Amino acid sequence: MTQPLRIVLAKPRGFCAGVDRAIATVRQALAIHGAPLYVRHEVVHNRHVVQQLARAGVVFVDTLQEIPQGQVVVLSAHGVARDVHEEARARHLRVIDATCPLVTKVHLEVASYTRKGFAVVLIGHRGHVEVQGTMGHAEPPGQVHLISSVAEVASLAIDPAQPVAYATQTTLSVSETAMIVAALRHRFPQLRAPRRDDICYASENRQQAVRLLAKQVQLVLVIGSVNSSNTQRLVEIAQAEGCAARRIDGAEELACADLQGITTLGITAGASAPENLLQAVLAYLARWRSITICEMDGITETMTFALPRAVRSPESLCSHAAP
């Protein structure tokens, strides 16, 4: 006789407004322009979503050079550097920009501060595609200093006479970022902050929810792909609360043996993981255990973003259209 399993679902969890918009943009672009539709980079960091879109006729590319001249290309939710837009223009590509508006906000801040002569310290993860895009909005290029830890603050090579501002990747841990910002303020007392936090509402809400969830269960499962930054933060935050936590892409990675001895299980999902993956995990668990499911109290998100004009009014899509 297997032990009953009480499952607590985090709230909020899963898709954010930026991911919803990016996927809807690709689907709409596919309906208007047909296959093959080129998308630069994974439109959102989720293996299942990417595979599903690929089956529908989307061709994911790493560089614009892989796209024949004159074709339509969708840019991913993570945003791109200015020179990617310039390259698209040079190749006469018709651009649909699915960059999340909250990433665009960070791009505009970096551009504005660097134009005014500030050195910008960007807090983010080296090599992450969003960070690459954000760094590419400095005007002139090269005025952005990337750090990812408190330890790196001391070694920042910034002229003491230069004013300093900071910006952050949108999906960082709120608490770790606060420590880095405190260290920056200590070294640069006149440090300028973004007018509104760069860490987005969706990251913040999901982090707060998983922190509460981790206090109530023996194990937290976080559904999301390995390259999803916000998913990885959720795992780390649950673990920092002293709870066992692991990331899975979906039910296929969940052997029932993983849950031996577990009677209370928390489940959440990163901002790029669709709800149907969570439902599949629940269905899988129900085959092995007698489960009860409840959802924790939490924030009801109402944020939505309009689709880019290039899919709302396809006639506006000329070579390299504005978002």
Nearest to 16 by CA among 304, 295, 265: 304
Which of 42, 86, 130, 275 is an active site residue? 130
For the chain, counts of helices (H) and of strands (E) = 10, 12
Nearer to ligand SF4, 5 or 84 (CB): 84
Nearer to ligand SF4, 137 or 289 (CB): 137
C-alpha distance from residue 18 to each of 27, 253, 279, 280, 306 (Å): 14, 27, 22, 23, 10
Nearer to ligand SF4, 164 or 271 (CB): 271
Among 5, 7, 8, 17, binds ligand SF4 (CB under 6 A): 17
Q: Tell whether residue 203 is a contact of ligand SF4 (CB under 6 A).
A: yes
Q: Tell whether residue 50 is a contact of ligand SF4 (CB under 6 A).
A: no
Among 25, 168, 171, 205, binds ligand SF4 (CB under 6 A): 171
Nearer to ligand SF4, 102 or 277 (CB): 102
C-alpha distance from residue 69 to each of 56, 58, 65, 85 (Å): 22, 17, 9, 14
Q: Tell whether residue 100 is a contact of ligand SF4 (CB under 6 A).
A: yes
Distance CA(159)–CA(162), nearest Å, equals 5
Q: Which residues contact 190 (CB under 8 A, 6 or more apart)?
A: 163, 164
- Is residue 130 annotated as part of the catalytic site, yes or no? yes
Residues 215-244 that bind ligand SF4 (CB under 6 A): 230
Nearer to ligand SF4, 28 or 229 (CB): 229
The one segment of 17-25, 63-71, 213-221, 235-243 that binds ligand SF4 by CB under 6 A: 17-25
Is the bond into 36 cis (omega within 30 degrees of 0)? yes
Q: Tell whether residue 102 is a contact of ligand SF4 (CB under 6 A).
A: yes
Distance CA(302)–CA(279), nearest Å, equals 22
Among 16, 64, 98, 172, binds ligand SF4 (CB under 6 A): 16
Q: Tell whether residue 271 is a contact of ligand SF4 (CB under 6 A).
A: yes
| 73-112 per-residue burial string, b: 16 or more CB within 10 A, e: under 16 | bbbbbbbbbeebbebbeebebbbbbbbbbbbbbbbebbbe
Q: Return the active site residues.
A: 130
Question: What are the residues binding ligand SF4 (CB under 6 A)?
Answer: 16-19, 77, 100, 102-103, 170-171, 200, 202-203, 230, 271
